[in-house]
Amino acid sequence: MIEKELLENPSPWMNDYAVAYYESIMRPAMRILEWGAGYSTIWLEKFDPAYLVSIEHNKDWADALEPYLTTTDLRKVDTYPKNFVNEWEEQSFDLIIIDGIDRLQCLYWVLEHNLLAQDGIIVYDDMHRKWSQQDYIDAWEVLEDEDFKMVMQPNSTLEDRLAASLDGNKLEDKDITLFAHRVK
């Protein structure tokens, strides 16, 4: 299940623009909460976080990944965020990544528990779906209403995307990750 060549150069499962931006916001000693583990979790460890917790629902995948994680607090749960009990203090995390299952509920959950630090960032993957899926529209609107500064990578409009698809560009080039910065 684990691909050895990806282990040598682990990276978040995102487009190149998103990975470059992600890298630019990383600082040492961050406190990080990740919903949905992957090669991204191995990559996050390289930035020496003060605390990194990653929550994964697929037990086989979590078991496969676990030997390659050294500092991560990996939580294997059947599902989330339903029934997930909060054990962290308010504003505990500098970075929260929403990249697994039930993403909108994860967003509500972290906002409800006020887990993001004052100048923290939420990474919300696949935000291009806001042009086609209600739960992504809702996530976008919640973050906008909360006055987050929204940075899309790549920063494409629906028109750009349609033009790119007419030009025959690859589908992966059209995935978009949102970096929502909390502004004090």
Ligand X SMILES: C[S@@+](CC[C@H](N)C(=O)[O-])C[C@H]1O[C@@H](n2cnc3c(N)ncnc32)[C@H](O)[C@@H]1O
Nearer to ligand X, 30 or 118 (CB): 30
* Cβ atoms 68, 3 nearer than 8 A: no
**Residue 123 and residue 180: Cα distance in Å, rounded?**
6
Q: Which long-range contacts (CB under 8 A, 24 or more apart) does 161-167 make?
A: 161/128, 161/131
The residue from 31, 38, 52, 180 that contacts ligand X (CB under 6 A) is 38
Nearer to ligand X, 98 or 116 (CB): 98
Q: Could you tell me which stretch among 30-38, 72-80, 127-135, 141-149 binds ligand X (CB under 6 A)?
A: 30-38
| Tokens coding 31 | 């406190």
Question: CA-based angle 164:13:102, to the nearest 5?
Answer: 95
Q: Alpha-carbon dihedral of residues 7, 123, 133, 82, nearest 10 degrees?
A: 90
Site for ligand X in 75-134 (CB under 6 A): 99-100
Nearer to ligand X, 39 or 136 (CB): 39
Binding mask 40-59 for ligand X (x = CB under 6 A): x---------------x-x-
Q: For binding to ligand X (CB under 6 A), which residues are involved?
A: 1, 12-13, 36-40, 56, 58, 61, 99-100
